[in-house]
Amino acid sequence: MKPKLVVVERAAHRRLKMVDALRADFQVESVEMLDGVLRTIRSIRPAIVLVGVGRRLQQSTRAVHQIKTDGVAPPRVGLMDWDGRIADPASIGRDALADGIFRGPPGGGELKEFVVALESDGCVVMGTAQVRGWRRLLGR
């Protein structure tokens, strides 16, 4: 039986990309909003939860903290920082109790590698941070 995984992402195209990349190896459920995520996690009892970081970084980190402190056996939780909003991943991971942070858009098997790495101890940081602002135009 495949392990259960919950994807929490507001943007539909990102949510579908993660579900598509992980559904061969995991039993994936997706949730659009952070509001009902605790109810979903209590009913499904997943092994891993991936939370997308949108414009509201504090809301995402607060949700991770709630997930990690809610139950007797909390799932492993990873933050998906698509747009490079997390400046210091080590401190955010420690403060939010996240088990890992993926920076930038995942490609190929990177997302699966990240999910497997979440099982290790400590905060796993993978991916490359996206350059934000006007500096992103200089690399073209």
When the pLDDT of each residue in the chain is averaged and rounded to a whole number, the result is 86
The residue ranges of DSSP E strands in 32-92, in sequence order, are: 48-52, 76-81
Res 129 pLDDT > 90? no
Residue 104: other Cβ atoms inside 10 A: 17
CATH 3.40.50.2300 fits 4-137, yes or no: yes
Q: What size, in residues, is the chain?
A: 140
Each residue of 20-42: pLDDT tens digit?
999 999 999 998 887 778 888 98
Q: Work out the pLDDT band at 127, boundaries 50, 70, 90.
A: confident
Cα gap 100→80, rounded to integer Å? 9
Res 132 pLDDT > 90? no
Residue 26 is predicted with a pLDDT of 92
Each residue of 80-123: pLDDT tens digit?
998 888 888 888 888 889 999 999 888 768 999 999 999 877 78
> Stretch 118-132: mean pLDDT, rounded?
77
